[in-house]
Structure 1
Amino acid sequence: MVFVHAKIGQLKVKDLSQKLQGISGFIFHLQLCEGQQLKHQILLKAHTESGKQRWITAMFPSDPLEDIEQASENDDLSQVQCIKSYQAQEHDELTLEKADILQAKTITSDGWVEGIRLSDGERGWFPKTNVEEITNRSARLRNLRENIRIKCVTQKLEEELF
């Protein structure tokens, strides 16, 4: 049974985990608005930081194309490389193959990473234990240049076919 509803664009969220002392768990405040007016508010609690972040990501999805463009323009974003394959177990998780290169969007204290695979723009969560950070700045830049080059070639091929 649904008691309240709002369009995704009318949702606002605030992370309250650091602000509410004495309440255990990972707290966030969801506000449902109608126009600029507050319609309803709900205090939600997750058992883990990654659980909270995954709920927030589900309610406020970003455009994968926008994420990839940001990765191409900003050379100093965190990147990781898969060192152990991972099979997604939930719909918001990302299956990883060894050697995949990903932009790390969010890294939680309980060992999960939200990332975007550079090769195809797929986005999802995966365990931090399956990846290692790419600390070399020139390697990160090389990965982004290669990603841009592949996108340009792919776009040219698509234009030629149509």
Structure 2
Amino acid sequence: MEDYGIHVFIGYADDDFRFVRFDLRRYLEEDLNLNTYIHQRDLRAGYLDQQLLDAIQDSWRLVLVLSANFLRRYEKAHLVMKMCTSAVTPVNPDRVLVLVEQGQGRHVPDYVLAVLDEEKLVRLHSLNEELGYEQKQRIKHLILT
């Protein structure tokens, strides 16, 4: 983890910012003391796609929040998922983990599932609900191991 400038990159849809900024970010940054990359907070002026690629390449773990908003309406969804899945290497094979909103599993592209073990999927009932204890423990385990 020390070889990376960013501990956790979070890929999510703009419409899901409340869950990311107020629940997931708070848990990762405040409880686990990790630094995160959140595009609505951390993007600078300039070429968006290159900044996303740079952030992904410089991140230890890549968390994809696969909600209905992300999978069906977010214009950068496939770009972010492709960049994250192509960043998996033999040196860091457990780089990607997925938080998937209930009912969205069938919409997850095969190329995302191809880089994951089933254990790297954390199921969420709804992004309107806070992360539960078991979900937090799974996320912690998957990020820190």
TM-score where L is the length of structure 1: 0.25
Q: Which has the higher contact order (CA 8 A, sep 6+)?
A: 2
Please say which structure displays the higher CA radius of gyration: 1
Q: Give the structure with the higher percent helix.
A: 2
Q: Give the structure with the higher percent strand.
A: 1
TM-score where L is the length of structure 2: 0.27
